[in-house]
Amino acid sequence: MQIRRLAVKGLSYFLSRIAAAEDPISRPQYFVRVVSQFSRAVELLDRSVNTDTPSSVDLENEICSTILEPKGTDISLFGLNFCERFDAGHALGVMAATLNSIDLTPAKISKYRASLQPPQAAKPSNRPKDEFGRKVVALIFSRSLLERHGRVVHSPEGNLNFSPADSRHFDLKTEQPESLAADIIRALQNNGAMMTFLRKPDYRTQAAIALSQCIKHYGNIEQSTGKTWKDGRDLPASDQVLRLRACAGDFGFQSMPASTQSSLG
């Protein structure tokens, strides 16, 4: 009987280890912080990398106000599987941090898509201005760097307007944002942190990666809205999908005949 109990216990432990291996995001070792103040963030990061002074109080305070958060405020992060800007978690985090800030109405999307219909779509000179791309800065930090200054807590409820990124949302709870800023400066100077400047074409690439990941996870994402794909605080699920497709440049299907679209379900 004792042997049987031990065998069951061992099997349970083994299965739990398999489950953990299948879900590497349960305890990510890397996190992305997305910053929308592009020009200001680029300036600060350039000063951080090229400064001759290892630590500057003024620079640390500016990094806190622009890239991190004031003291007493949790710092929103998204977990990654790998220290890599093409990681799906990185793309989902970028979209989660920016979709709600885009002045993107269904009417604007319809107008933009209509302008891409054949034969107009085949003429580059007729392409309208890119209204949906964004410029953001993304910084990747290791768990070990962040945990020197606080606790990293899984907080799906803190991700407000892009349901596919809920499971990847974390908060850094710290009472030492200034010391974290100083540590970030040192990490940037010593290649201990990664920074990426995403301009409009790069942002669209991130949107395409996120869209691909969503299709892989949900299948027909339009049919999943309001069900497995949840409404956000400000954006309904259907609006999230519409914005993601627009940002990813998903307009190729527009040239498909209506009869073909209906036959494909």
Q: What is the mean pLDDT of the chain?
A: 81
Query: Tens digits of per-residue pLDDT, 132-184?
Result: 778 999 999 999 999 999 999 999 999 999 999 999 999 999 998 999 999 99
Query: Tens digits of per-residue pLDDT, 16-27?
Result: 333 333 344 678
Taken in order 68, 182, 138, 158, the sign of the CA dihedral is: negative
Indicate the pTM of the whole model.
0.79
Give the distance, in angstroms, between the CA of residue 160 and the centroid of all CA atoms in the same chain. 12
**Which residues, 6 or more positions from 23, have their beta carbon under 8 angstroms from its beta carbon?**
none
Dig out the tokens for 61 from the structure: 């305070």
Query: Tens digits of per-residue pLDDT, 215-232?
Result: 999 988 888 776 789 999
Residue 84 is predicted with a pLDDT of 94
Three-state secondary-structure class, residue 250: coil
| Pairwise CA distance, residues 96 & 116, whole Å | 26
Strand order in the sheet with 136-142: 151-154, 169-173, 75-80, 30-35, 136-142, 194-198
| Pairwise CA distance, residues 167 & 235, whole Å | 18
Residues in a beta bridge with 140: 32, 194
Taken in order 68, 74, 78, 79, the sign of the CA dihedral is: positive
Query: Tens digits of per-residue pLDDT, 70-122?
Result: 888 999 999 999 999 999 999 999 999 999 876 667 777 777 667 666 555 55
Q: Alpha helices of the chain — where are they, by DSSP H?
A: 2-22, 38-50, 57-66, 88-98, 106-114, 143-147, 177-189, 200-218, 221-224, 237-247, 258-263
